[in-house]
Amino acid sequence: MTQDPSAPDGGLPFAGLSALVTGGASGIGLATATLLAERGARVACLDLTAEVPEPLLGLRADVSDDASVRASVATAAEAFGGLDIVVNNAGIGAAGTVEDNPDEEWHRVLDVNLLGVVRVTRAALPHLRRSSAPAIVNTCSVAATTGLPDRALYSATKGALLALTRATAADLLADGVRVNCVNPGTVDTPWVGRLLSAADDPAAERAALEARQPTGRLVAAVEVAEAIAHLAGPWSSAVTGTALPVDGGMHGLRTRPT
Ligand code: NAD
Reported as a single tens digit per residue, the pLDDT across 218-228 is: 999 999 999 99
Domains of the chain: 18-185+220-243 (3.40.50.720)
Which of 73, 60, 65, 77 lies closest to 24 in space, CA to CA?
Answer: 60
Q: Quick check: pTM over 0.90?
A: yes
Per-residue confidence band for 2, with pLDDT thresholds at 50, 70 and 90: very low
Return all residues near 92 (Cβ < 8 A) that are at least 6 apart.
109, 112, 113
| Greatest C-alpha distance within the chain | 54
Query: Looking at ligand 1, which residue's alpha carbon is closest to its atom 19?
Result: 62
Query: Looking at ligand 1, which residue's alpha carbon is closest to its atom 7?
Result: 23
**186 within ligand 1 shell (Cβ under 6 A):** yes
What is the CA(119)–ligand 1 centre distance, in A? 16
Of ligand 1's listed atoms, the one at least distance from the Cα of 112 is 18
Please determine, for residue 243, whether its predicted confidence score (pLDDT) is greater than 50: yes
Tell me what pLDDT residue 117 has: 99
Tell me what pLDDT residue 253 has: 87
**184 within ligand 1 shell (Cβ under 6 A):** yes
CB–CB of 115/156 below 8 Å? no
Which of 127, 133, 136 lies closest to 15 in space, CA to CA?
Answer: 133
Summarize pLDDT for 133-178 with one digit per residue, the tens. Answer: 999 999 999 999 999 999 999 999 999 999 999 999 999 999 999 9
What is the CA(29)–ligand 1 centre distance, in A? 7
Of ligand 1's listed atoms, the one at least distance from the Cα of 194 is 2
| Rounded-to-integer distance, Cα 129 and Cα 134, Å | 7
**191 within ligand 1 shell (Cβ under 6 A):** yes
**192 within ligand 1 shell (Cβ under 6 A):** yes
Tell me what pLDDT residue 7 has: 55
Average pLDDT of the residues in 77-103: 98
**50 within ligand 1 shell (Cβ under 6 A):** no
Which of 215, 210, 223, 221 lies closest to 248 in space, CA to CA?
Answer: 215
| Rounded-to-integer distance, Cα 114 and Cα 129, Å | 22
CA dihedral 106, 135, 84, 67 (to 10 degrees): -20
Tell me what pLDDT residue 6 has: 56
Tell me what pLDDT residue 254 has: 75
Average pLDDT of the residues in 58-64: 98
Based on the number of CB atoms within 10 Å of its own CB, is 55 exposed (0-12), middle (13-18) or buried (19 or more)?
Answer: exposed
What is the CA(257)–ligand 1 centre distance, in A? 30
**245 within ligand 1 shell (Cβ under 6 A):** no
- For the chain, the average pLDDT equals 95
**193 within ligand 1 shell (Cβ under 6 A):** no
**115 within ligand 1 shell (Cβ under 6 A):** no
Query: Looking at ligand 1, which residue's alpha carbon is closest to its atom 4?
Result: 26
SS3 25: coil
For strands 85-88 and 187-188, give the pairing.
Answer: unpaired
Tell me what pLDDT residue 119 has: 99
What is the CA(6)–ligand 1 centre distance, in A? 31
Tell me what pLDDT residue 242 has: 98
Of the residues 26, 110, 186, which should be mutated to test ligand 1's pocket, given the most ligand atoms within 8 Å of the CB? 26
For 77, list phi and psi in degrees, rounded to 5.
-65, -35
Per-residue confidence band for 5, with pLDDT thresholds at 50, 70 and 90: very low
| Rounded-to-integer distance, Cα 41 and Cα 94, Å | 33
Examine residue 55 and say whether the peptide bond preceding it is cis (omega within 30 degrees of 0). yes
CA 88 to chain centre: 5
**Active-site residue numbers?**
154
